[in-house]
Structure 1
C-alpha cells in the first residue's frame, strides 16, 4: 500500500471542485489545492484576510510580501481579483456565499462533526481563526488530512474528543488512504489507494465504512 503524498491529496481534492465554484482553502495542508486546480476550469478562490480571485504560489524570488493568504503564505492574484475589508470577507463566509471550503482537521466523526482548532492539551495554542464561520457558512465542507495520527490512531472517530468546530458540517473527507463521503446513512468510500481494500480501511479507521 502506498499512501498519497500531500500534493497528490491536494490534486485529488482539486479534481472534485467544479467549474464556477467559489472556494475557501483553509490554513495548512488545504492551501496546496491552489497549485493543482485544473487549468480549464474557472474556480474563484477566497481567502479570509480579504482577497477574492487568489492564484497559486508565486515562483521563487517573485513573492510580494503584501500579497498573502490567511496563513501568511505568499500567493498571486488572478486577473479580475478583488481586495476588501476583513469584515466583508467574513460576511461572505457567514452569508452562505462560498460553495466549498477545504479545511484540515484533528478529528472528524462518523456524523460529520469537525474538530480542527484545538487538541485540548494544556500547552496547545488554540487557533480557531475563521474555521467556525467556514464550517457553518460554506455550502459544502471538504476535509483534507492524513488518515492516521503520528502514533497510528485514526482521525476518523465515532465521536470527537477534541473541542468541536462544527456539528454535522463535513460533506467529504480526503485522506492519504481514501476519499470518503459523509452521509446520513454512514461513511462511504469513493476510492482507495492501490493495495488497500475495504476491510483494511475499516480496520485502520476503527469505524464502519462501506464501499
Structure 2
C-alpha cells in the first residue's frame, strides 16, 4: 500500500465538501481529511464525541486523550466541543450530519455498503457504521480500490454483511471517482495513469461511463483541478 494513495483519496474528497458543512469522518482514510482542507472551513465530527476536530498536531503537542475515530492524535478548533457517546449518536441519528465520509470493506455497484464485519472473523464492534449510513444526508466512500489480498472492494454484490439498505452517493479510490445514480454506478473521473479497460479489469462492479470522453480527457480534468 502506497501512503500517497490514501492522501490522494483524502484530497479528492475535500473537493466534494462544501464550506460550513457538518462532516463525520469515519475510521481510516477519512481521518486524513483535516490535514488537507486548506482554506475550506468545515465542522468535523468524530463519533467518539467531538465536534470541531482539527488537523494532526505537531509531535511535541500530541495528547493521546484527544484522538480521532482511528485513535490517531488530533487537535480541536476554536469553539469545539466534547460530549459523550449518547449525544454523539443523537446527533448522527437525528439527521444533523451533512456528510459522512466512510471507509468500507466492500461497496456494490448500486452503492450498498459493507464496512463492519468479515465473515468468520471476530467482530470487535459495529461502531457507528449503521447509524451513519442511516442518518447522514450524504455518504461518501473513501477506499483503496483493492483489499490487502488484491480482491476488488467495488463488487457486483456484497459478500460481507451489509451496513444498511441506504446507499452511498460517491466513492473515491486511488484510481477513480464513481457516482451512484438510481442504482447505477457511473465513472466520473480517473485519478491515476490507468486506462478505462485496465480500470474495468481491477473493478469487480460494472459501471457506466461516457464513451465520448477519452481517458486522457478524464486525466486532464483531474490534473487541471489539482
What TM-score comes out, normalization by structure 1 length? 0.92
Paired with 2:3 and 2:189, the residues of 1 have a C-alpha distance of 13
2:141 match: secondary structure? strand
1:16-62 Cα distance to aligned partner (Å, 9 max, x none): 111111001001221111111132x2200001121111101111110
Q: CA RMSD in A?
A: 1.8
* Larger relative contact order (CA 8 Å, sep ≥ 6): 1
Q: Which residue of 1 aligns with 2:216?
A: none
- Structure 1: which 5+ residue stretches go unaligned? none
CA shift for structure 1 position 4: 6.0
Residues 116-195 of structure 1 correspond to what in structure 2 (within 5 A)?
116-121=115-120, 123-184=121-182, 186-195=184-193
Paired with 2:67 and 2:149, the residues of 1 have a C-alpha distance of 33
| CA 3–53 in structure 1, closer or farther in 2 if over 3 Å, else same | closer
CA contact (8 A) 1:147 1:155 kept: yes
Paired with 1:103 and 1:31, the residues of 2 have a C-alpha distance of 9
CA shift for structure 1 position 182: 1.1
Q: Which residue of 2 aligns with 1:44?
A: 43
Q: Which residue of 2 aligns with 1:9?
A: 9
| CA 18–161 in structure 1, closer or farther in 2 if over 3 Å, else same | same
Paired with 1:184 and 1:176, the residues of 2 have a C-alpha distance of 24
Q: Which residue of 1 aligns with 2:67?
A: 68
CA contact (8 A) 1:113 1:169 kept: yes
CA shift for structure 1 position 3: 10
Q: Which residue of 2 aligns with 1:111?
A: 110
CA shift for structure 1 position 112: 1.0
Paired with 2:172 and 2:127, the residues of 1 have a C-alpha distance of 22
Compare 20-29 and 61-70 and name the one that shifted more. 61-70
- Structure 2: which 5+ residue stretches go unaligned? 210-226
Compare 161-170 and 63-72 and name the one that shifted more. 63-72
Paired with 1:103 and 1:26, the residues of 2 have a C-alpha distance of 5
| CA 70–44 in structure 1, closer or farther in 2 if over 3 Å, else same | same
What TM-score comes out, normalization by structure 2 length? 0.86
List 4+ stretches of structure 1 deviating above 4 A: none
Aligned length: 208
More helix by share: 2
Paired with 1:97 and 1:157, the residues of 2 have a C-alpha distance of 30
